[in-house]
Amino acid sequence: MNKKPSVLISAMALFSMFFGAGNLIFPPTLGLWAGDKYISAMIGFLLASVGIVMLGVIATTKAGGRIENMASKLGDKFSILFGTFIVLAIGPGLAIPRTAATTFEIIQGTIAPNLNPTISSIVFFGVVLFFVLNPTNVIDTLGKYLTPALLVVLAIIIVKGITTPIGTIVPTGAINTFGRSFEEGYQTMDALAALVFTSIIIKGFKDKGVKDSKEIVKLTMKSAIFAAIGLSLVYGGLLYIGATASSLSLVRVEKVEFLIYITNMLLGGFGKYALSAAITLACITTAVGLTSTVGDFFFKLFNNKINYNFIIAVSTVFSGYFAVSGVETIVALSAPVLSALYPISIVLIFLNLFPNFFKKKATHIGAVLGACLPTVVTIANALNIKLPLLLEIKNYFPKSLHSFLWVIPVVILGTVFTIFSKNKSQKAEIEKELI
């Protein structure tokens, strides 16, 4: 007999999946940069790192529960291409190497200052490979206890940071805090992960006996709301603590280094080591989950013709090699890639949230073409090709809107394609009547 599905348990599962340990490094340094403008920075960051993520879960559920369903109106080829780029981004391309790099820098900054990054990467991915190829309950058990343990440590840090701040919040001269913080939220990569991870939550509800699609959407929405509250409290608290350090004259501090610094300032050596141990283990569990996701996706994509273990091995080797470059390098390389992928993902999320309103294939095609503009700009910059017209148009708008200018071509092309499709359809109906 199936048990009644628990929204709280699903919310905790959703929270832990999105609560990749690497994400903790972004809010503190963002707060440090924003200073007295931390509220607008917090709103921008939370909107991208939590709000859009939870809408992504709901939209994917409405679309059918799989990443391929999100772009179904654009054809099978685009769906496969889009899914491949997303899985590579949250897999060996960006997210998995970052978990290993974060682990190395945490350990090096606390208990092993002479640790070699190559050795650290080999050991880290050796452990990951073992658990992926030899599934056991150990990694699941670690995950169940790690999230609450990490939350307890973070709760202590955040409460301590609010009640006895490490400094005062001062102006830092930061500009366009909302827009830049919104784009910084891209670095969590959770909106992309939402399109992949949602199927796990849906499967959990179905395993508990929920068959009605509307009920699944309802339960998923509730789970998303609870998970969003948890993520917002953690990210918001860490960002605020970062802002309280804006008076300490810290220059060019790196993200992991700063997280270790504020932990040590607030809790001393014990807190620093406790956080380091929890994050290290959490990074391993996150890497195991992501590596398995990569293996499953490409194994199915190639119709089981390529060996699953081979896919895992290639992903692990590439991730290990890339991880040695360090967190800051990975983050820098992530920025243009995520700036290209996020607008497309956001557009697809929005369109699938209202499937009854955005029914036409032409609407989806036009809107996604508009969202591809940042991709064109990214490729042009990589090839050192100048786009003077785009730069001239961009300068007409205030800097506070520069991060969202891609919305304009989305709306224009989405509308034009819809009208063109409507007129074409009406013309075809008239010709049919005349015949």
175: phi then psi, degrees, rounded to nearest 5? -120, 160
To 10 degrees, what angle do helices 7-18 and 213-244 make? 50
CA distance 113 to 313: 29
Number of folded domains in the chain?
Answer: 1
User: 157: closest CA among 245, 41, 283?
Assistant: 245
**Position 434 confidence tier, pLDDT thresholds 50, 70, 90:** very low
To 10 degrees, what angle do helices 76-90 and 95-108 make? 10
Residue 226 within any structural domain of the chain: yes
- CATH code (residue 121): 1.10.4160.10
User: What pLDDT, on a 0 to 100 scale, did the predictor assign at position 375?
Assistant: 79
Residue 238 within any structural domain of the chain: yes
User: 43: closest CA among 242, 332, 240, 255?
Assistant: 240
Least confident of 1-10, 49-58, 424-433: 424-433
pTM of the model: 0.88
Residue 26 within any structural domain of the chain: yes
CA distance 264 to 31: 17
Least confident of 31-35, 221-225, 423-427: 423-427
Residue 251 within any structural domain of the chain: yes
Average pLDDT over residues 53-75: 88
User: 169: closest CA among 237, 262, 80, 241?
Assistant: 241
pLDDT of 84 above 50: yes
CA distance 79 to 69: 8
| Tens digit of each residue's pLDDT (9 = 90 or more) over 409-420 | 999 999 999 988
Average pLDDT over residues 338-367: 92
**Position 236 confidence tier, pLDDT thresholds 50, 70, 90:** very high
Range of the domain at 112: 7-325
Residue 435 within any structural domain of the chain: no
User: 341: closest CA among 18, 88, 72, 9?
Assistant: 88
Residue 378 within any structural domain of the chain: no
pLDDT of 362 above 50: yes
Residue 183 within any structural domain of the chain: yes
Residue 414 within any structural domain of the chain: no
Average pLDDT over residues 203-232: 83
Least confident of 87-101, 341-355, 384-398: 384-398
| Residue 95 CB partners (closer than 8 Å, separation 6+) | 20, 22, 89, 189, 193, 290
User: Under a CB-based contact definition with an 8 Å cutoff, are residues 163 and 31 in contact?
Assistant: no
